[in-house]
Amino acid sequence: MDIAVRPMALSETGLVIEYFHCAAPEHLEMLGVDPTRLPTRDAWRERFEQDFSLPVEQRPQFFVIWLLDDHAVGFSSCDKIVFGECANMHLHVADSERRTKGIGTACVLKSVEIYFRELRLKRLFCEPNAFNVAPNRTLQKARFKYLKTHMTVPGPLNFHQAVTRWVIER
């Protein structure tokens, strides 16, 4: 099993758009995502084109792709980026049959290295839905530190929810 993680190319961003647009309502609920807040495929593609035209230090988001034996099986992203300081991470094994086999933990560990290097971070946060067991267990395994559980709207695609706040610092 050869696991690799690298910055996502613009040509690969369809994986992200299709992951969310093809997700079952109960999966989006578990993620804390409000389906009515998803941009249309076209709007999302345009947004990716704009983001990728910017230098990394000016991008509002940064994506990495997760590869198993050279096949894309998932992705991670950062938003709320303050270049040189901090960012918020997201994590997804897109292929549901590949979950709970250790890929998430291995890919989070590799993604963290890329984020700290590319975004020159001091702190990386992650705030999964408090009731979504998989990311909470995975973050703990990937050596993130638990900070608190609180109510918030974590991002533009999300509804108001309980989230757990985790951090890794360098």
Whole-number Å distance between alpha carbons of 48 and 33: 19
Whole-number Å distance between alpha carbons of 93 and 67: 10
Tell me, residue by residue from 17 to 56, as one string, x for binding to ligand COA by CB under 6 A and - for no binding.
Answer: -------------xx-------------------------
**Which residue, 20 or 48, has its beta carbon nearer to ligand COA?**
20
By CB under 6 A, residue 75 contacts ligand COA: no
Element (H, E) at 111: helix 103-118
Whole-number Å distance between alpha carbons of 159 and 29: 9
Q: Which of 4, 10, 56, 133 binds ligand COA (CB under 6 A)?
A: 133
Measured in degrees and rounded to the nearest 5, phi and psi for residue 64 equal -125, 150
By CB under 6 A, residue 93 contacts ligand COA: yes
**Which residue, 59 or 165, has its beta carbon nearer to ligand COA?**
165
By CB under 6 A, residue 61 contacts ligand COA: no
Which of the stretches 48-56, 113-121, 128-136, 145-153 binds ligand COA when contact is defined by CB under 6 A? 128-136
Residue pair 76/90 in contact (Cβ under 8 Å)? The answer is yes
Whole-number Å distance between alpha carbons of 69 and 58: 32
Q: Could you list the residues that contact ligand COA (CB under 6 A)? A: 30-31, 90-93, 99-105, 128, 132-135, 137-138, 141
